[in-house]
Amino acid sequence: MATIAVPVGAQAEQNEQEAVRRPALSEYLRWSVDHKIIGVQYGISSFLFFLVGGAMAMGIRWELLTPALDLMVSGSAYNSLFTMHGTVMIFLFIIPMWAAFGNFVVPLQLGAKDMAFPWLNAFAFWLIPPAAIVILMGYFVTPAEAGWTSYPPLSTLFSGDGQTLWALGAHLLGISSIMGSINFIVTILNMRPESMTLWRMPLLCWAVLATSIIAVMATPFLAGALTLLLLDRVAGTTFFDAAGGGDVLLWQNIFWFYSHPAVYIMVLPGMGVLSEVLSIHSRKPVFGYRMVGLSSMGIAFVGFTVWAHHMFTSLQPELRIPFMITTMIIAVPTGIKMFSWLGTIWGGKIRFTSAMLFALGFLSMFVIGGITGVMLAALPFDIHVHDTYFVVSHFHFVLFGGSVFAIYAALYHWFPKVTGRMMNEQLGRIHFVFTYFGFLFTFFPMHIVGMLGMPRRVAVYDPSFTQWNQLIGLSAFVLGFSTFIVIYNVIRSYYRGPIAGANPWRALTLEWATTSPPPVTNFIDDPIPYEDPYGYGTEAATAYLDAVDESFRNGRPASGGH
Amino acid sequence: MNDNRNRTPSISPAAVVVAAIFLLVSVIGINWFTSFVPVVLPPQASAESKSVDELFYVLVIIGGIVFFLIQGMLLISVIFFRAKSGDQSDGPNFHGNALLEIVWTIIPAGVVVFLAVLSFNVWMQNTEPKATVNLIDGDEVKINVSGARYAWTHTYQTGRIDPNGAQIVINSGDKLHTYIGQNIELELRTQDVIHSYWVPAMRVKQDLLPGNPATGGRPTDIRFTPVRVEGETYPASYPIVCAELCGDGHGRMTGEVIVYADESQFLQQFYEPAIYAIMNPPADPVLRGEILIQEYICNSCHILDSLGWTSRTGPSLNGIADRAGERVPGQSAEEYIVQSVWNSQAFVVPGYTEQMAAFGPDQPDANAMSAEQLYAITAFLCTQGEQTDCDIENQTVAIPAAINTAFGLDVDITFGQGDGAESDSSEAPDED
């Protein structure tokens, strides 16, 4: 055998019990600066908000089973429901959920003991509960009903106090997001082991780095827009009030300057997850590693130049063409990723784990979101489907078919590392089948109702769309039901799942070169990363993985391998 | 363990066969889907819709190729590259292929450039200025659209003059009347929040943006040219939809585009009768009111069974004549109805919110309502009740000085033979 880098140093003095101890559940309810605790705190709270937002989605689909207003007492009640659905799903579920995986996994992948600023990390998380309370409280006082986009003057001159609380809560979440992102950037750029150059960094870290750069650059614009909105609402200013010299398009421009990049904040980490999962579970290196990493940066950069395509029907006509062109360009780096992932699994030895199924599900669903994205960029066609169910379908293919599928893939992939136990694969497969088909039949028909003439955000619609909406509604209930399978699986596996061991997937990245769950300091000695994070298929890689297995036999670190 | 670094993954003949079959299926699939297109899009009722749909076909074909390519490669991978049971070994150590990566960067880039150029051409073609717009009977008639929560109002600023020398303005309510081949250009203004004027059959959409009323608002334009649709009987009707969330009644904010076969049908069936009706209003104020209340789109918020209205945003108007006198102490039924129209916020029915616009001579555009019109609408609403105590005969309704000034009157609205000229016209209702 050639010289093999050993993942862990001498660990004879390691206290075995300490190494495999799982944090007590009560530790998750307390202030903690341990990135692993914070990661789980982010994860559990985000998942709870996923359930809240999902329940709201069920209410929306229930109302839409018939063309008339029946479940809700008024159109306003319906408006506030989907306003909360969007706000909760975006600000309280997807964005913090990526902070969950980023927090837990990134320091481990870097072989670091914690994030660069542990206290700041905890503070960023603990801003979320008060922000959530403020936003959800708004639902019970004259709720916000201007959609998650909150266009003035509907959100300024024609909305109740819930809108003010909405803006305050979003402000807090923005602060949390900025602090978390600064932490990620500093951690990733400074805390890698000596031998891990940027080009040897796992792709999840590349994705989180790109995401964090976007968040740090874009979120202040949201803060600016929210401040102006709050001033208009409570201080009598007229930034968005035309009668006082303001301009309603000012909000749209600033809001989308944040909220379009925010789409990539929600999707890029999922793309990072996909690179990990596809490579590990098909036992093959990531195809075109550098281009996958660089395309994250490309998307981050171009993502800042496309915001006004959300305003194609309100923007001055002469400004529409430039934004059409930039929007189309962003398809190129996304395409590079898609093809590289296909190249990754092509010729591999695919293991159909639940994580892999969801990653493959992402591939097959996200491509539809990508295709409709290019269609929407084509200005003349967009004019027809702008603000219709076609758009609703498009962004759910990106944010559910993309982000949520990736979140599930990440859950099945890293659950063993977090809890030390495997999830039930059989339940995972059932969950996948229900989610995949429930999702497809919920959201694909929305393209068609949108093109046929159904606008979004309506509680009553033309009776000719009834059958489509009933198909969508029933599929949505299947999709909603599928969530309970994964909840049951998580709870059951937490207590009863088979012991995972350090490296159940035989992966080369560093988070697998420590016990599951990792000790408080993550690694006993500074770990030595394998030269290539995805270098599967070589003798050296196999020897490295065997050495990891040897070091952590029975879930405990043995004496260092040689 | 075998070190197969640098070895290209081999492609079995079976994979080639599957790929070929899949290619065939995708070609058939794309063909099938494009034949399906008329089912997923509304009728092509405008010249613009044809070029937009052609662009859509191109997008669907290219999108279909990408879709079948990626799903096909995925399917082949899933079928042929699954690990054999018990095989714990790794796949080949294959890191990439620079040529392939260049190819799949350049080709998509070329495709999006092509789509951008194509879209640009369609856009320029559809937005090209027309030689004449809104041509009616040889005149270019200005057509304004007003969006208010939750109704569209179309007004035609005709070139005709009424007997008093004033310009005749046709208010066609939530209906836009046009004919095949007429180049339509609408000027859109909102009275409150952002709305979006969408005619799916015409493939056009434009937001209405709030502007400063003091400087005439912030008008936006929308243009299209209706064309003949095969198999359609004329006059044909196509829905107008509000596409931008505007509040409680957003889903009900709809209208109709009525397309006539040609200009003479348009003149015969809509334009001339509308002008005639304005020149020769019915003598009975109740009948005039019944026409007017439909022009002012009160149906977008209210229920009124006698006219088939069903909206629930505002209070029901069924039996309003019986209740009107009991709403505000000291106000007669007629006074209450008048106040509810021209100063709608003065009294908001419990359980409802302050959403209704005010209608009166001091209001702009579609909300302008003359004294005579207010009188006729009140007369009509006074007939909506059982044992009505709302009797327009011999009644006088006090009109505040401000309104009287605007009307150019110094009298109250007098119903029937009652003489209200000497009543206290300066008393404004309570603004609670």
Residues 120-139 of B with CB under 8 A from A: 120, 122-123, 126-127
Hey, are the CB atoms on A350 and B83 less than 8 Å from each other? yes
| Residue B404 pLDDT grade (very low, low, confident, very high; cuts 50, 70, 90) | low
Hey, are the CB atoms on A289 and B96 less than 8 Å from each other? yes
Residue B260 corresponds to which amino acid? Y
pLDDT score for B392:
58
| Residue B396 pLDDT grade (very low, low, confident, very high; cuts 50, 70, 90) | low
Hey, are the CB atoms on A349 and B90 less than 8 Å from each other? yes
pLDDT score for B399:
54
What chain A holds in terms of domains, given with CATH numbers, is: 24-555 (1.20.210.10)
Cα Rg, chain B, nearest whole Å: 31
Helix axes A203-230, A289-302, angle to 10 degrees: 10
Q: What percent of chain B has pLDDT over 70?
A: 83
Beta-bridge partner residues of B184: B224
CA atoms in the 13 A half-sphere facing the CB of B55: 29
Interface test with B, best of A283, A290, A327, A447 (most B CBs within 10 A): A283
pLDDT score for A377:
95
Helix (H, G, I), strand (E, B) or coil at B416: coil
Q: Is the pLDDT of residue B10 over 60?
A: no
What is the rounded distance in angstroms from the CA atom of residue B205 to the CA atom of residue B143?
16
Picking from B79-83, B224-228, B329-333, which range would have the lowest pLDDT averaged per residue? B329-333
Residues 183-212 of A with CB under 8 A from B: none
Picking from A73-77, A383-387, A480-484, A524-528, which range would have the lowest pLDDT averaged per residue? A524-528
Q: Please give the helix or strand (H or E) that residue A226 lies within, else none.
A: helix A203-230
pLDDT score for B401:
54
The answer to whether A288 contacts chain B (CB < 8 Å) is yes
pLDDT score for A6:
47
Instruction: Write the DSSP symbol of residue B279.
Output: H
Query: Considering only CB atoms, which chain B residues are within 8 Å of A368?
Result: 67
Helices (H), B177-281: 263-266, 272-279
Query: Considering only CB atoms, which chain B residues are within 8 Å of A69?
Result: 312
pLDDT score for B414:
53
Picking from A90-104, A155-169, A270-284, B82-96, which range would have the lowest pLDDT averaged per residue? B82-96
What is the rounded distance in angstroms from the CA atom of residue B178 to the CA atom of residue B180?
7
The answer to whether A380 contacts chain B (CB < 8 Å) is yes
| Residue B113 pLDDT grade (very low, low, confident, very high; cuts 50, 70, 90) | very high
pLDDT score for B12:
65
CA-nearest residue to A359 within chain B is: B74
The answer to whether B242 contacts chain A (CB < 8 Å) is yes
Q: What is the mean pLDDT of residues A502-524?
A: 91
Q: Which two tokens stand for residue B129?
A: 């200025």
CA-to-CA separations, A116 to A110, A111, A521, A561, in angstroms, rounded: 11, 12, 13, 30
Q: Is the pLDDT of residue B426 over 70?
A: no
Could you read off the pLDDT of B57-85 as tens digits, one per residue?
999 989 999 999 999 999 999 999 988 88
CA-nearest residue to A367 within chain B is: B67
Q: Is the pLDDT of residue B406 over 50?
A: no
Report the topology of domain B281-415.
Cytochrome Bc1 Complex; Chain D, domain 2 (1.10.760)
Q: Which two tokens stand for residue B425?
A: 């016209």
Query: Considering only CB atoms, which chain B residues are within 8 Å of A285?
Result: 93-95
Residues 248-277 of A with CB under 8 A from B: 248-249
CA-nearest residue to A311 within chain B is: B207
Picking from B207-211, B361-365, B428-432, which range would have the lowest pLDDT averaged per residue? B428-432
Residues 6+ apart with CB under 8 A from B163: B279
Hey, are the CB atoms on B67 and A371 less than 8 Å from each other? yes
Picking from A83-97, A264-278, B6-20, which range would have the lowest pLDDT averaged per residue? B6-20
Q: What is the mean pLDDT of chain A?
A: 91
pLDDT score for B4:
44
The answer to whether A131 contacts chain B (CB < 8 Å) is no
Beta-bridge partner residues of B360: B368
CA-nearest residue to B252 within chain A is: A460
Q: Is the pLDDT of residue B428 over 60?
A: no
Q: Where are the beta strands (DSSP E) in B132-199?
A: 135-136, 139-140, 142-148, 151-161, 167-171, 175-179, 184-190, 195-199
pLDDT score for B389:
64
Partner residue facing A379 (CB), from B91, B100, B123 = B123
Hey, are the CB atoms on B96 and A352 less than 8 Å from each other? no
Hey, are the CB atoms on B313 and A282 less than 8 Å from each other? no
Hey, are the CB atoms on A455 and B93 less than 8 Å from each other? no
What is the rounded distance in angstroms from the CA atom of residue A438 to the CA atom of residue A525?
46
Interface test with B, best of A328, A363, A539 (most B CBs within 10 A): A328
Residues 153-212 of B with CB under 8 A from A: 192-194, 196, 198, 200-201, 203-207, 209-212
Q: Is the pLDDT of residue B364 over 80?
A: no
Hey, are the CB atoms on A451 and B41 less than 8 Å from each other? yes
Query: Are the CB atoms for A188 and A106 separated by under 8 Å?
Result: yes
Chain B nearest C-alpha distance from A347 (Å):
5
Interface test with A, best of B104, B197, B238 (most A CBs within 10 A): B104
Could you read off the pLDDT of A220-277 as tens digits, one per residue?
999 999 999 999 999 999 999 988 889 999 999 999 999 999 999 999 999 999 999 9
Complex ipTM, two decimals? 0.90
Residues 6+ apart with CB under 8 A from A427: A485, A486, A488, A489, A492
Q: Is the pLDDT of residue A46 over 90?
A: yes
pLDDT score for B3:
44
The answer to whether A464 contacts chain B (CB < 8 Å) is no
CA-nearest residue to A453 within chain B is: B200
**Would strands B195-199 and B236-242 be described as parallel, antiparallel, or unpaired?**
antiparallel
The answer to whether A348 contacts chain B (CB < 8 Å) is yes
Query: Are the CB atoms for B159 and B141 separated by under 8 Å?
Result: yes
Q: What is the mean pLDDT of residues A155-175?
A: 93
Q: Is the pLDDT of residue B27 over 70?
A: yes
Helix (H, G, I), strand (E, B) or coil at A111: coil
pLDDT score for A346:
92
3-state helix, strand, coil in chain B (%, to 5): 40, 20, 40
Residue B185 corresponds to which amino acid? E
Q: Is the pLDDT of residue A562 over 70?
A: no
CA-to-CA separations, B129 to A127, B125, B156, B168, B286, in angstroms, rounded: 54, 9, 21, 27, 45
Hey, are the CB atoms on A347 and B92 less than 8 Å from each other? yes
The answer to whether B231 contacts chain A (CB < 8 Å) is no
CA-to-CA separations, A385 to A311, A454, B57, in angstroms, rounded: 12, 9, 15
Hey, are the CB atoms on A367 and B3 less than 8 Å from each other? no
Q: Is the pLDDT of residue A13 over 80?
A: no
Chain A nearest C-alpha distance from B215 (Å):
9
Residues 6+ apart with CB under 8 A from B261: B179, B180, B228, B234, B235
Q: Where are the beta strands (DSSP E) in A460-534?
A: none
Q: Which of A173, A142, A7 is nearest to A79 (CA)?
A: A142
pLDDT score for B391:
60
Q: Which of B336, B340, B230 is nearest to B296 (CA)?
A: B340
Chain A nearest C-alpha distance from B164 (Å):
35
What is the rounded distance in angstroms from the CA atom of residue A46 to the CA atom of residue A38?
12
Hey, are the CB atoms on B59 and A375 less than 8 Å from each other? yes
Q: Please give the helix or strand (H or E) that residue A362 lies within, else none.
A: helix A354-377
Query: Considering only CB atoms, which chain B residues are within 8 Å of A367?
Result: 66-67, 70-71
Q: Which of A514, A504, A494 is nearest to A419 (CA)?
A: A494
Q: Is the pLDDT of residue A159 over 90?
A: no
Could you read off the pLDDT of B165-185 as tens digits, one per residue?
888 889 888 999 999 999 999
Partner residue facing B207 (CB), from A314, A374, A458 = A314
> Phi and psi dihedrals of A424, rounded to 5?
-75, 115
Q: Please give the helix or strand (H or E) that residue B49 lies within, else none.
A: helix B47-80
Q: Is the pLDDT of residue A524 over 90?
A: no
Q: Is the pLDDT of residue B88 over 90?
A: no
Which CATH code fits B135-278? 2.60.40.420
Q: What is the mean pLDDT of chain B?
A: 82
> Phi and psi dihedrals of A528, rounded to 5?
-105, 115
Query: Are the CB atoms for A185 and A212 separated by under 8 Å?
Result: yes
- Could you tell me how many CB contacts below 8 A there are between chain A and chain B? 283
pLDDT score for B2:
43
pLDDT score for B424:
37
Chain B nearest C-alpha distance from A55 (Å):
22
Hey, are the CB atoms on B90 and A283 less than 8 Å from each other? yes
Hey, are the CB atoms on A291 and B63 less than 8 Å from each other? no
Hey, are the CB atoms on B209 and A248 less than 8 Å from each other? yes
Query: Considering only CB atoms, which chain A residues are within 8 Å of B83?
Result: 283, 349-351
pLDDT score for B316:
86
pLDDT score for B345:
79
CA-to-CA separations, A13 to A78, A513, A553, in angstroms, rounded: 62, 17, 16
Query: Considering only CB atoms, which chain A residues are within 8 Å of B99?
Result: none
pLDDT score for B417:
40
| Residue A556 pLDDT grade (very low, low, confident, very high; cuts 50, 70, 90) | low
pLDDT score for A109:
95
Query: Considering only CB atoms, which chain A residues are within 8 Å of B214?
Result: 243
Picking from A212-216, B22-26, B84-88, B146-150, which range would have the lowest pLDDT averaged per residue? B22-26
Hey, are the CB atoms on B92 and A329 less than 8 Å from each other? no
Instruction: Spell out a b/e string for B227-241, using b for 16 or more CB atoms within 10 Å of the CB, else e.
Output: bebeeeebbbebbbb
CA-to-CA separations, A34 to A112, A187, A331, A419, in angstroms, rounded: 12, 14, 38, 15
Hey, are the CB atoms on A349 and B82 less than 8 Å from each other? yes
Interface test with A, best of B250, B257, B301, B310 (most A CBs within 10 A): B250
Q: Is the pLDDT of residue B425 over 60?
A: no
Q: What is the CA A442 to chain-centroid distance, rounded?
A: 20
